[in-house]
Structure 1
Amino acid sequence: MQKSSLLWLMLAVSLLAGCKSLMYPEQEPQSAPAAQSVLEIVPCSEPVPMICAEPEAKVVEKIIERSVEKIVEVPVARDKLVLGTVEHVSVEPSGLVVESIVDSGSSTSTLRAKALTRFERDGRDWVRIQLMPPQGDGETEPGVVELPIKRYIRAMRIGFPSQRRPVVEMHLTVGDVTHMVEVSLTDEGGTDTLMLLGRNFLKDAAVVDVSRRYVQGQPRISGGK
């Protein structure tokens, strides 16, 4: 009786063991190739350099205005002759007093004569100048002056052909001031004015007030020049 009970117990244990194996079968470990098939190795691509765009910079132009005091040197008439646009000029050695336009745009003073005669003396070129008296002065006779020619200049005139003019040295007096300057000579008309007083007289000696005329009046010739 005991043996049969033991047999039945063993049979029941075996049945139970078989059922367990059927319900929970043992899982075999996966091999390495199977794992590799699941995890695919993807090659990395070459790195691509990325250039970031520069941020937009807002340029603001800043203008600074400054008021700078500008010092301008203005010629002062101290110790200088003040002239108007027209003055009376004494021409030496003739002593003729003529009305002259003060022309700061001309480098050389110019005198208009009635006649010019060129001749040679002691191997040099001279000129005989027949001066014209001022317009309306019927008492003064035309004066004649002979002077050596220092040089010649070519005068350009608008609307007329150029003219070759002789240049001589003469004493010119305006007011109390006398200077020896170069004077170009012409015997052609075209204007009632007999003389143009140029920069060679004005330089370092006079200033011009364009709003006035006859500032100095009649020339006052001193004994010595």
Structure 2
Amino acid sequence: MRFLPLFSLLLMSQLLVGCESLFSRAPAAAPEPVNVFEDTPSAADAAALPGQCPPVQAVVCAEPEVKVVERVIERKFETIVEVPVAKDKLVLGSQEYAMVEPGDLRLKAQIDTGVATSSLHVEQLTRFERDGSDWVRFNVSNGDDTEAVKIELPIERHVRVARPGFDRQRRPIVNMSLTIGDVTHMVEVNLVQRGDFDFPLQVGRNFLKDSAVVDVSRRFVQGNGQLPIVSK
């Protein structure tokens, strides 16, 4: 029983020490409130948090500058200009009548600047020899009901002609006189036997060279064709 007062004193001293430490301790800082309605953290918070993506920021581009260009369309109209032709040149259309000698033939001719040598459509072409020279005999028709004219001429040379879709031909060439308008030329003419000719005579560059110009928009400029008048 004598220890009871001593025990009470010790208990009272421990209680006094506990209260003094309790009141002397500094109060703990209150936690920072968290905004539960904010989904996107600030830039500082995002940088502080590892593994977090930076916030998406909307980029507004400046509107491009629009330049208005005024385009002026200038329309030009073609003008037909009459080009004078030299007085010594014969003007021919795409088709003309030609006089052919020998034979005194008046034939409808096609004027073709794309061929070098004139051509004549003939029938019953036969080669033969006369006085050691090669000659040719053929018939030429005017295209009407008159009888075909038989002509015999020496062969000057031969030419080989190749056309797509046709066999290669070896044609004889003879000298003949062609007259269109007031112009007469002795030219080489190659003789051809073929039934698909629209014109019995095709006038090439060997007649047109240095003597005539061609206006393809016209036909029969030189009339119906006649032999030139020879003054005596």
Measured against the shorter chain, the TM-score band is 0.5 to 0.7
| Residues 1:158 and 1:77: Cα distance change in structure 2 (over 3 Å) | farther
Q: Partners of 2:84 and 2:196 in 1: how far apart? A: 34
Q: How many residues matched?
A: 149
Please give the root-mean-square deviation of Cα atoms over the aligned residues, in Å: 1.7
**TM-score normalised by length of structure 1:** 0.63
Counterpart check, 1:208 vs 2:208: no
Counterpart check, 1:122 vs 2:164: no
Q: Give the equivalent residue in structure 2 for 1:48.
A: none
Runs of 4+ in 1 over 4 A off after TM superposition: none
The one-letter amino acid paired with 1:144 is K
State the Cα distance separating 1:78 from its structure 2 match.
2.2
**TM-score normalised by length of structure 2:** 0.61
Q: Give the equivalent residue in structure 2 for 1:174.
A: 180
Contact 1:109 1:198 in 2 (8 A): yes
Structure 1: stretches of 5+ with no match in the other structure: 1-73
Counterpart check, 1:78 vs 2:84: no
Q: Partners of 1:214 and 1:175 in 2: how far apart? A: 10
The one-letter amino acid paired with 1:201 is F
Match of 2:223 among 195, 217, 220: 217
State the Cα distance separating 1:187 from its structure 2 match.
1.3
| Residues 1:148 and 1:224: Cα distance change in structure 2 (over 3 Å) | farther
Partner deviation per Cα, 1:7-32 (whole Å, 9 max, x = no partner): xxxxxxxxxxxxxxxxxxxxxxxxxx
Q: Give the equivalent residue in structure 2 for 1:51.
A: none
Partner deviation per Cα, 1:96-137 (whole Å, 9 max, x = no partner): 111111010000000001221100000000000111222xx2
Counterpart check, 1:145 vs 2:151: yes
Contact 1:176 1:219 in 2 (8 A): no
State the Cα distance separating 1:223 from its structure 2 match.
4.8
Contact 2:121 2:197 in 1 (8 A): no
* Aligned counterparts, 1:56-205, within 5 A: 76-134=85-143, 137-138=144-145, 140-205=146-211
Q: Give the equivalent residue in structure 2 for 1:64.
A: none
- Secondary structure of the residue aligned to 2:168 is strand
Identity of aligned residues (%): 55
The one-letter amino acid paired with 1:168 is V
